[in-house]
Amino acid sequence: MCGLVGYVGWRDAAEVLLAGLRRLEYRGYDSAGVALADEESEIGLRVLKKAGNIDDGLEKLLKNGSSNGSHLGIGHTRWATHGEPNDRNAHPHTDCPDELALVHNGIIENHQSLRKWLSGLGHEFTSDVDTEVICHLMEHYLQDEGDLSQALARSCEHLEGAYAVAVVQSPLGANEREIVAARKDSLLVVGLGDDENFLASDVPAILPYTRRVMYLENGDFVRLTADDVTVFRSDGRRVDRPVTEVQWDPVQAQRDGYPHFMLKEIEEQPAAWESALRGRLSGGEVDLQGLQFPALEDIEHIYFVACGTSYHAGMAAAPLWERLLQIPASAEIGSEFRYRQPLLGEDTLVVFISQSGETADTLASLDLAIEENCPTICVTNVVGSSMARRADNVIYTQAGPEISVASTKTYTTQLLILFLLACHLGRQLPHGQQHSETCDRLLAAMPSLSDLERQLLNDTTEIGSAAERIADWEDSFFIGRGLDYVSALEGQLKLKEISYIHAEAYPAGELKHGTMALIEEGVPVVAISTQPQLRDKMASNVEEVRARGAWVVAVTDQPEGEVARRSDAVIPVPDSEPELSPLFVGTALQVLAYRAAVLRDCPIDKPRNLAKSVTVE
């Protein structure tokens, strides 16, 4: 879950790398570093790296030192998986003669056996990280091959796990200025410019310089010079990869005056919803641009596979799909799905959900589904991502770049796309006529959702008041029934990941089966009620926790209803179709978590121990 960037061309490499790393810092902020080619001295490579965030570490090193006008370099921002987050373990890493520098995103699963083997050959290790074994493998094979590209290909033959690797060599001497890179299960993007080329773990890092990008495939190697990009396989065979024109505006990846990316992205949700529906829904008719879905009459089960917030989107979608398609549907946690050995086959439709399209556990589950000949659909935000390329069908959420670690607009656009798909596919089945009224009702409501969302975001006074109460506590509880329980799960995740308040979510009816023992005087309980058939039961559950001393805030589309009257405070959400309620509840709980985190002075966009793209298992 690290980020890497590379540059070769005519610009000041240090400036390009530093700017790119800032845009990748959401992927990790335990340390950062760069390796710059020093073409006018005997040093060859200048490696600067420091633990901590870029502002406090690497930037000061660059200001105090000199980049010597280098036009070639690689950089890295780290989220620690092996070894403590300190200067010694920061990237880039070098071999013992310091003739090459290397940055790596991923995990080398067999690094211990490789370390033992290389140590036996006389290699000396100076860090605790798995990445360093690649440096010494490169050193070993450079002696035989004499060519950086071939040495990297030989080195990768030994590696087990996931990696995106970029290498530069010193001294340059007669060698052409070049970066050599490889990828396996970790995203790697090439940016194409005029007399310059770029490399990055994600598109925002290079958007200020180019919108022409090339996504590398698994098993690809690439050699970049200022005027050429060559993609090849391990056997040296050259391959072509399509060039994509990125539509994002570079300004979209900046804060635009907001104090945090998370707040900016929360408030971008109305526009994101409009973007998600644009060209796909008009006059109640759905147009999914020629996507070919499997014959649903042959499908006997539907799985939604995802992790974290995306898993909650799958949980919210599964009941509606099951109801409208009359096919059993369930949500599965990506990190567990493979290991329970699910029954898969051509009669199983698997829907994969991921903001980045690179989530390691979900991606591994996709590979399993492909092996078992399952029809697959991917819902993601990133064009050209690994899941998008591997799945049979891909539907982009079109939410635009999301920088804050906590997912906000990508979660709600995932929900919207999944609800849209349910209605579209439900209409395709012979028995779909019995649910046509539901489909028509939901599709008719979707165009007005963004206006209702704007109304919610225009007045968050009640949310702010509730946040003030919750911010003073170290524990909190979220309860709900049906879809509201799914919203409770997402709400408690948002609160604890950015405010560090311990939070738990429960089906409201389960409190009396043990959890009630944790309810004490004054403890905050967020009670969600948007499902008409469950309002009376939720009112009773609210009464139960209040009788034990809890302070209850109701999140409801009926601010004058029974649940609200029995609560201590109320957060109103728009009254729309009950099936679509997770969209508005999700937003309200995002704001609640954000306000609480601000009051507790937490690092909102970069919560401790977390990274945006979980690209390792």
344-374, pLDDT tens digit by residue? 999 999 999 999 888 889 999 999 999 999 9
Mean of pLDDT values over 578-604: 97
- Give the residue from 423, 454, 485 where a domain finishes: 454
407: in domain:
yes
Residues forming the active site: 2, 612
Answer yes or no: do 424 and 484 share one domain.
no
- Distance in angstroms (rounded) separating the CA atoms of residues 214 and 221: 12
Q: Considering only 27-36, 121-130, 409-418, 562-571, which range has the smallest mean pLDDT?
A: 27-36
**HEC-encoded secondary structure of 52-93:** CCCCCCHHHHHHHCCCCCCCEEEEEEECCCCCCCCCCCCCCE
Which structure tokens are listed for 146?
């004499």
Answer yes or no: do 241 and 329 share one domain.
no
- Distance in angstroms (rounded) separating the CA atoms of residues 294 and 357: 21
User: Looking at residue 92, which CATH number applies to its domain?
Assistant: 3.60.20.10
The pLDDT tens digits of the residues spanning 378-402 come to 999 887 788 988 999 999 998 887 8
Question: Sign of the C-alpha dihedral, residues 466, 467, 471, 477?
Answer: positive
617 — pLDDT class (breaks 50, 70, 90) = low
- pLDDT of the residue at 571: 98
- pLDDT of the residue at 535: 95
Answer yes or no: do 119 and 9 share one domain.
yes
User: Looking at residue 473, which CATH number applies to its domain?
Assistant: 3.40.50.10490
**Side chain identity, residue 268:** E
Cα Rg for the chain, rounded, in angstroms?
26
Answer yes or no: do 230 and 302 share one domain.
no
Q: Which of 278, 546, 312, 539 is nearest to 406 (CA)?
A: 312
Above 90 in pLDDT, residue 319?
Answer: yes
613 — pLDDT class (breaks 50, 70, 90) = low
Domain with 35 in it: 3-253
Answer yes or no: do 269 and 408 share one domain.
yes
The pLDDT tens digits of the residues spanning 426-460 come to 887 766 556 788 999 999 999 999 999 999 999 99
Answer yes or no: do 437 and 300 share one domain.
yes
Q: Which of 171, 229, 222, 169 is nearest to 196 (CA)?
A: 229
Q: Considering only 44-48, 163-167, 253-257, 452-456, which range has the smallest mean pLDDT?
A: 253-257
- pLDDT of the residue at 367: 94
- CB neighbours of residue 112 within 10 Å: 12
- Distance in angstroms (rounded) separating the CA atoms of residues 504 and 494: 11
Above 60 in pLDDT, residue 174?
Answer: no
DSSP conformational letter for 548: T
In three-state secondary structure terms, 300 is coil
Answer yes or no: do 234 and 183 share one domain.
yes
Answer yes or no: do 306 and 161 share one domain.
no
215 — pLDDT class (breaks 50, 70, 90) = very high
What is the tally of structural domains in the chain?
3
- pLDDT of the residue at 39: 63
Q: Let me know how long the chain is.
A: 617
Above 60 in pLDDT, residue 66?
Answer: no
DSSP conformational letter for 227: T
State the Cα angle at 367 between 364 and 372, rounded to 5°. 130
295: in domain:
yes
Answer yes or no: do 328 and 448 share one domain.
yes
223 — pLDDT class (breaks 50, 70, 90) = very high
